[in-house]
Amino acid sequence: MNSLIRWAVLSILLVTYHISHADAQTAKIVYLGGCQKGYASEYYTNYHHELLASVVGSLDLAKELLIYSYANYINGFAALLTDEHAYELTKNPAVTSVFENTGHELHTTESWSFLGLEDSEGDGPPGSLWNETKLGADVIIGSLDSGVWPESQSYNDHGIGPIPAKWKGTCTSGTAFNATNCNRKLIGARFFIKGYEAKNGPLNETLTGDFLSPRDKDGHGTHTSSTAGGRFVKHASWFGFASGTAKGGAPSSRIAAYKVCWPKNATSGSGQCHDADILAALDQAIADGVDLVTISLGSKVPLRNFFGNGIAIGAFHAVENGIPVVCSAGNDGPAQGTVSNVAPWVLTAAASSIDRTFLSKVTLGNNATYIGQSLSRDKLPNKYFPLVSSADVGNSIASLNESTLCTPGSLDPTKVAGKIVACLRGGPGRVSKGHTVKLAGGIGMILVNSPAYGNELIADRHVLPASQLTAQDGAAVFAYINSTSSPIALLGAAATTLNVKPAPVMAYFSSKGPNSLTPDILKPDITGPGLNILAAYPEVAFPTGLAFETSVVKFNMLSGTSMSCPHLAGVIALLKALHPDWSPAAIKSAIMTTASVLDNTGTPITDAFQKIASPFNYGAGHVNPVKAADPGLVYDASLIDYLLFLCGLNYTQMQLQTIAGTFVCPTILPTASDLNYPSIAISNLTATRTITRTVTNVGDIKSTYIATIESPPGISVSVYPPLLKFSKKGQKKTFQITFTANSLPSSGYLFGQLVWQDDHRHVVRSPFAVRIA
């Protein structure tokens, strides 16, 4: 049935239903655990029809109401259900959970957004590792996102070998897309929209410009998948900035795009990427044979529990099948407790800067100079121009607040013409402020961070010569304007600058710990590059999203944890190529325990406020791919470990048995802190607490590791035994780490680290975060 007819039918059903019942139908997901091996998917689909019929009354009606049947690896279905029917289903012991088909958002900061509010916005090549892994050859990266622009050179397949024999995926045809768009590089492309349409009605391709096919209109999906696995493309640049060779983390890997994200619909208020579609995509991706999955989307706090979240459930089954999953942490920083995608079976990526930036110099009439950032293509003549504060040049209808923030239409052209205008950051989008200045006749803009934004500089593609300054530098600019009757400034052209120090610096927007759902699992796990990242882009999406901007680009610069997530996916692909036998937990451990907490000046990584960053910013630290290839020891975890973790939370024996058959929770329930995780969190330390960890030797056959601990004042920490001797590869050793509170309850968390070291070659570092109750 095509979607229009399907919708007509559903609408009629909905209408009749409304007449006879007060209770409205909405799309809900009925999660039934995992599929057992040896059963055909038809078996499960029939079962889903019958189960649904048992509450809605007839098999025919059940078939009409069913949206998806998940029947490969994930067992469950999505259907239009009243709350009453949903409730009846939850009483069935076969049902793990029932939850609304909710939308998640893409995790790019809308650095190019014109009208968006700031609040809602959000490589070095590893050298020898690339050689050893043959650039990640034959590893298949599954990307759940907004689709793919197959013509991009990042997906060219020149010189790439045949498609791996194990691949069972396909290229689905649709609008402006068919199987000929796939090749030996882009080996799969599918789209999933029924969950989205259940919320928003049929996709109107004319209205939205999107494609009912795997083709990417938004740009996000093309950007993220090419970041993870794009090929070398020479002479890539963005209007001349950042020119060089564009490439992904694993340039010889294969890419499979699963389009689950669609245009935002302001009316419905629903997100872009829906649980029902995400589950369908993950169930399919596992069956297709992907080697890892990258997901740059998520939801905001308050977080739904693990069995009420399509990403968490789908990722669980991927990991169960040996497929690592990396997710973005979200762009809701710098507030604490904002991190999303917190399931312990996924790797959660925060975002930080790289050592490349786009500088533009501001010189004031008093000769003071400040270095700001900009990606503006326009330059002013190399001379001084009059400078005004926007607060002083508002028009008669604008409030002082509005002119201070350069809101649209707030400036008086007679006071602005021919001048450089200093606007305060906040409220309207950064690029929008420049547009306001330009419309009023201004010739340049200095965008000043308000104190809340600290030194977070984002190089924007401004529509006029412009430079963004830190709060501190900006205050000096305002003071200078006040100090003289005829302030002037010289605005230098923006230029790409390399080897910037310090780097990395944590991104202002990167979501932070503690983990609001399970505070005894430290999140995020890791940080990677996520500021001003250049990668492939569809040739339809306007880079700034500005109505008057008509440029089409092959590469675009974006910022967000959406960008750091596929960097981590590229690293996972390389590790998969090098160590095909490592579990998802082992790969994650290797990445975490080898991460760096120092920047390129050799001092601790800082945040956007020049303060020393903590594990709540970056988890274990900044990813180091070369070291991750040889971590020495790993903290491994199996399905059983995750089930034990779930036993210790609110999940019932019955729920867990739907996933794992005969599994029985122990009588003494483990705590989340006891999961064999590469980092440690104790949210509620009273007196003394001992937790257990097990490490597996993946390094030299014979080695001796010695523990060292750095603990903050207020707690003492000890390890037993303090020395671990390994005589063969694969050998496991268990140790205990005891935390003792010796100070009064702390309002915040205290941080420290445990390090296992062998002859200075392997350094296995675990951060910990402890709060004294």
Ligand X SMILES: *[C@@H]1O[C@H](CO)[C@@H](O)[C@H](O)[C@H]1NC(C)=O
Cα separations (Å) of 434 from 114, 440, 473, 560, 741? Answer: 10, 10, 19, 22, 53
Residue closer to ligand X, measured from CB, 610 or 686: 686
Q: Mark the segment that binds ligand X (CB under 6 A) among 8-16, 264-272, 560-568, 759-767.
A: 264-272
Instruction: Say how far apart CA 143 and CA 189 lie, in whole Å.
Output: 9
Q: CA 168, CA 437: separation in Å to the nearest integer? A: 54
Q: How far apart are CB 687 and ligand X at their closest, in Å?
A: 9
Least CB distance from residue 207 to ligand X, whole Å?
A: 4
Please confirm, yes or no, whether 41 is among the known catalytic residues.
Answer: no
Under rule CB under 6 A, residue 20 binds ligand X: no
Burial class of residue 604, CB neighbours in 10 A (0-12, 13-18, 19+): middle
Contact stretch for ligand X (CB under 6 A) within 109-117, 222-230, 260-268, 286-294: 260-268
Site residues (CB under 6 A) for ligand X, limited to 632-651? 649-650
Here's the x/- map for ligand X, 654-673, by CB under 6 A: it reads as --------------------
740 binds ligand X (CB under 6 A): no
Residue closer to ligand X, measured from CB, 684 or 757: 684
In DSSP terms, 298 is beta-bridged to 105
- Out of 131, 382, 486, 662, the only residue in the binding site for ligand X (CB under 6 A) is 131
Number of Cβ within 10 Å of residue 455's Cβ equals 17
Cα 743 to Cα 448, 673, 712, 747, 772: the distances in Å are 42, 21, 11, 12, 8
Instruction: Give the binding range for ligand X (CB under 6 A) out of 131-139, 538-546, 585-593, 633-641.
Output: 131-139
- The yes or no reply on residue 200 touching ligand X (CB under 6 A) is yes
**From 305, 497, 596, 716, residue interacting with ligand X (rule: CB under 6 A):** 305
Among residues 2, 367, 485, 667, the one that binds ligand X under rule CB under 6 A: 367
Is 58 labeled as catalytic in the residue annotation? Answer: no
For ligand X, the binding residues in 670-689 under the rule CB under 6 A are 684, 686
Q: Which one of 138, 145, 210, 288 is the catalytic residue?
A: 145
Question: Residue from 15, 38, 159, 180 that binds ligand X (CB under 6 A)?
Answer: 180
Q: How far is the CB of 181 from ligand X (least distance, A)?
A: 7
Question: In whole angstroms, how close is the CB of 363 to ligand X at the nearest point?
Answer: 9
Residues 383-422 that bind ligand X (CB under 6 A): 399, 401
Measured from the CB atom, the residue of 374 and 655 that comes closer to ligand X is 655
Residue 134 corresponds to which tokens in the numbers above?
């043959």
Q: How many CA within 13 A on the CB side of residue 251?
A: 22
| CA distance readout (Å), 480 to 181, 373, 389, 474 | 57, 20, 10, 10
Alpha-carbon distances, residue 234 vs 40, 127, 237, 243, 526 (angstroms):
47, 18, 9, 9, 30
**How many chain residues are in contact with ligand X, going by CB under 6 A?**
29
* Member of 1, 19, 22, 207 binding ligand X (CB under 6 A): 207
Q: Provide the minimum distance between the beta carbon of 94 and ligand X in the complex, in angstroms, as a whole number.
A: 21
Contact 296, 567 (CB under 8 A): no
Q: How far apart are the C-alpha atoms of 527 and 255, rounded to whole Å?
A: 23
Known catalytic membership, residue 277? no
DSSP string, 553-584: -SEEEEBSHHHHHHHHHHHHHHHHHH-TT--H
Judge contact between 105 and 272, C-beta under 8 A. yes
CB of 150 to ligand X, least distance (A): 9
Contacts to ligand X from residues 467-486, by CB under 6 A: 475, 478-479, 482
DSSP run (H or E) holding 709: strand 703-710
Q: Which of 164, 201, 244, 386 binds ligand X (CB under 6 A)?
A: 201
Which of residues 387, 517, 592, 608 is near ligand X by CB under 6 A? 517
> How far apart are alpha carbons 728 and 361 in whole angstroms?
58
Nearer to ligand X, 407 or 766 (CB): 407
Find residue 360's DSSP bridge partners: 372
Find the helix or strand (DSSP H, E) in which 186 lies. strand 186-191
Q: What are phi and psi of 674, to 5 degrees?
A: -85, -10
Task: State the pairing for strand pair 526-529/347-352.
Answer: parallel
Catalytic residue among 69, 353, 410, 562: 562
Q: Please identify which of the residues 85, 104, 107, 220 carries the catalytic annotation.
A: 220
Residue ranges in contact with ligand X by CB under 6 A: 131, 134-135, 178, 180, 200-201, 204, 206-207, 265, 267-268, 305, 366-367, 399, 401, 475, 478-479, 482, 517-518, 649-650, 684, 686, 773
Catalytic (active-site) positions: 145, 220, 562
